[in-house]
Structure 1
Amino acid sequence: MSYHPIANYIYDLLVQEITDQEGEITFNFLNISVRINEKSAIGDLFQEWLTEWMRLKRIEFRTKTNTQEFPDFLLNTSDTIGLLEVKTFNYNASANFDVANFRAYYRSLKTEAYRLDADYLIFAYELKDYKFKVRKMWLKKIWEITGGSADYSVKCQVKQDEIVNIRPVVWYSENQKARKPFKSRLDFVEGLYDTLMKYPGTQNQSSDWLEKVKNNYFYHTGEEL
């Protein structure tokens, strides 16, 4: 599997440095310091820590002006190579983070199909008795963490019959009955196309979506999807 070399370097260095390390999260305001034991803000807080860690390690990276835009980090001078997304989830629960907003992602692939090659740096953390620890880490591609569900070819979060976000499968499960991730980039894209054609909110305008994504991916990379 071809991950960006800097993403590989970050992953390898983190494995060496944070394995078995323990810390705590505090909030200090008006000389009042509070230890945090609430998981809801961990993702944003950990990304802030990771940003500073990368600076201290003199790892070159850029971020978008709008920090809510994809990706979290750019590891190359190009805006189409070296895309790195950071995801976190509670180690004591199944991975349930949002891989991407469904509508924004499928629309983007028609003109920015290079997003399919982004790397995902994923942390499973434990926060217990005010102690924070990273229990496991992965460096993955989007098709290695996504798969099908009972409803659609790509597992999604659905609210009031509307698809909201793309969600991961439990890719690390050893349970033979667990849904498996896709086998390739093309496998994922075809699964997304099947989902678009099945979902009432997108099926009428998506007949040429797959062809447009294939053409755009070739345009940006010179390779077949």
Structure 2
Amino acid sequence: MANHIQSLEGLEALLKDKIKGQSGNIVINLIGIPKISRSNDIIGNCLQEWLPEWFQDNGLNLEPNPETQAFPDFIAHFDNHEEMVDIKCWNYLNNPAFDIANFDSFYNVLYNNPAKLFAKYLTIGYTPQKHGFTIDYVGLKKLWDITGPSRKRPLNIQVKRQRPYAIRPISFARHPNTSFNSPDELIQAVVETRKLFPNDEIKYSEADWFNKLSLTLEHYRHKM
């Protein structure tokens, strides 16, 4: 029977009730010979494809982001409001290493649409097993809950060819005290990271970016 989900918190509760602790498997059948896949990439990708459909089966109106190259991936529609949400899965035996967003894209998107700072993340940790996998972690997180500094930089990012590439999560499930404590800390870290990697193609200064995000932040604090 479908549930009438009215918030992302309600969706998180449903996941913890119905999915956490459960086992699954992904079978590849070729020439009539089935084999169970234990590949991390395959498990994670299949979960991220299966979960949105299951959410819709349970009464959630989940719309893919029409801006396919921008975060977050989905817009969840409820009776009296809508929320932006991403779904991220990772091997719970390891630190999460999924991409949150491309750094330059993230920087530009937030400047043009600061409300996206308040997108939420449904994070699912799975553990590969001999005959499939188990779901061992479920958490609904804010952006600053899953991001934090690295040992080298104000923001944990992947760097390629001496340029910032992807924003990566910290180990938020096992070490939540390493994350940022507020959106203010996050935007300050983004600005400090931008200063380490200047981009001449960006037409506004770091101060302009920070001031715009700071002003917008005041209008959205009630959503935190």
CA contact (8 A) 2:93 2:127 kept: yes
CA distance in 1, matches of 2:155, 2:58: 37
CA distance in 2, matches of 1:34, 1:9: 35
Q: Displacement of 1:35 after TM fit?
A: 2.0
Name 2:206's counterpart in structure 1: 206
Q: Displacement of 1:161 after TM fit?
A: 1.4
How many pairs were matched up? 217
Q: Displacement of 1:152 after TM fit?
A: 1.6
CA distance in 2, matches of 1:148, 1:198: 14
Q: Displacement of 1:120 after TM fit?
A: 0.5
Q: Deviations over 1:59-92 (max 9, x none)?
A: 22211346554222211379x9400101111111
TM-score under structure 2 normalisation?
Answer: 0.84
Q: Which amino acid aligns with 1:187?
A: E
Secondary structure at the aligned position of 1:95 is classed as coil
Calculate the aligned-residue CA RMSD, in Å: 2.9
Q: Which amino acid aligns with 2:214?
A: K
Q: Displacement of 1:41 after TM fit?
A: 2.3
Q: Which amino acid aligns with 2:72?
A: P
CA contact (8 A) 1:217 1:224 kept: no
CA contact (8 A) 1:148 1:179 kept: no
Task: From the two aligned structures, give the one with the greater helix fraction.
Answer: 2
The 3 A distance-change label for structure 1 pair 103 and 92 is same
The 3 A distance-change label for structure 1 pair 6 and 28 is farther
CA contact (8 A) 2:144 2:183 kept: yes
Secondary structure at the aligned position of 2:193 is classed as helix
Secondary structure at the aligned position of 1:93 is classed as coil
CA contact (8 A) 2:157 2:165 kept: yes
The 3 A distance-change label for structure 1 pair 224 and 130 is closer
Q: Percent identity?
A: 27
CA distance in 2, matches of 1:45, 1:68: 20
Q: Which amino acid aligns with 1:138?
A: G
Q: Which amino acid aligns with 2:179?
A: P
Q: Deviations over 1:183-219 (max 9, x none)?
A: 1111111111111122244699434211132345567
Secondary structure at the aligned position of 1:75 is classed as strand
Name 2:126's counterpart in structure 1: 125
5 Å-filtered alignment, 1:99-178, equals 99-174=100-175
Name 2:55's counterpart in structure 1: 54
CA contact (8 A) 1:84 1:118 kept: yes
Question: Structure 2: which 5+ residue stretches go unaligned?
Answer: none
Question: Structure 1: which 5+ residue stretches go unaligned?
Answer: none
The 3 A distance-change label for structure 1 pair 129 and 119 is same
CA distance in 1, matches of 2:70, 2:45: 14
TM-score under structure 1 normalisation?
Answer: 0.84
Task: From the two aligned structures, give the one with the greater strand fraction.
Answer: 2
CA distance in 2, matches of 1:58, 1:198: 45
CA contact (8 A) 2:70 2:109 kept: no
CA contact (8 A) 2:91 2:126 kept: yes
Q: Displacement of 1:20 after TM fit?
A: 2.1
CA distance in 2, matches of 1:117, 1:59: 20
CA contact (8 A) 1:24 1:35 kept: yes
More displaced stretch, 26-35 vs 82-91: 26-35
Q: Which amino acid aligns with 2:43?
A: I
CA distance in 2, matches of 1:222, 1:205: 24
CA distance in 2, matches of 1:12, 1:222: 24
